Structure 1
Amino acid sequence: MVASQTGSGQEPPKIEFPCEDYPIKVMGDSGPEFHQFAIEVMERHAPGLDQARITIKDSRNGRFQSITFMITATGIDQLQALHQELIASPMTKMVL
């Protein structure tokens, strides 16, 4: 019997760094303050951020906003620092 590739024993794929086009989605309160905060954090942790590749989507009622950034991830330390700084703000609801 062959073990299933999707079984619980399978490890998630490993990320090789640097990893270009690594998506980070930040969800929070809609508004210019949240947008500016998210960009400042991303630029601090991911120098060379291409703002032309930022995607912004408003929630159905306009109360929340999701912002997707495409960065070059340089390592676990960078990703953890990004996540910690983003989630520390009360404006941020979730980071994926």
Structure 2
Amino acid sequence: MTDRIEGTEQEPPKIEFPCEYPIKVLGRQQADFETVVIEVFERHAPGFDSETIVAKASSKGTFISLTITIIATGPEQLKALHEELMATGQVQMVI
């Protein structure tokens, strides 16, 4: 996707891999949500630091977000991670 600024096309910023890459995963508050998400991350980014996971519940407690930082190795890894997270049926959004 490109943005037009005064008649010029601007490329999105390039990400240089490997890099630290925070990913926010949003889903409904369920007993096994965090476990399911972490299992997916372990398959796609083994060895990520689970101590750095930030969990935040919505104001009414209906939803929960997990922010997990991984060392991303490339766009293929990120795409596969996103697809498997969404396929769990528990994840509403990945940012």
Structure 2 length as normaliser, TM-score? 0.89
Correspondence list, 1:11-90, <5 A: 11-19=11-19, 21-90=20-89
Give distance in 1, aligned partners of 2:38 and 2:31: 11
Alignment-mate amino acid for residue 15 of structure 1: I
Structure 1 unaligned blocks of 5 or more? 1-5
Runs of at least 4 residues of structure 1 off by over 2 A? Answer: none
Give distance in 2, aligned partners of 1:35 and 1:63: 14
Alignment-mate amino acid for residue 45 of structure 2: A
Counterpart of 2:16 in 1: which secondary structure?
coil
Give how far 1:90 is off. Answer: 1.7
Give distance in 1, aligned partners of 2:30 and 2:76: 29
Counterpart of 1:43 in 2: which secondary structure?
helix
CA RMSD between the two structures? 1.3
Give how far 1:31 is off. Answer: 2.5
Give how far 1:32 is off. Answer: 2.9
Alignment-mate amino acid for residue 47 of structure 1: P
Q: Among all aligned residue pairs of Structure 1 and Structure 2, give the percentage whose two residues are the same amino acid.
A: 53
Alignment-mate amino acid for residue 50 of structure 1: D
Greater fraction strand: 2
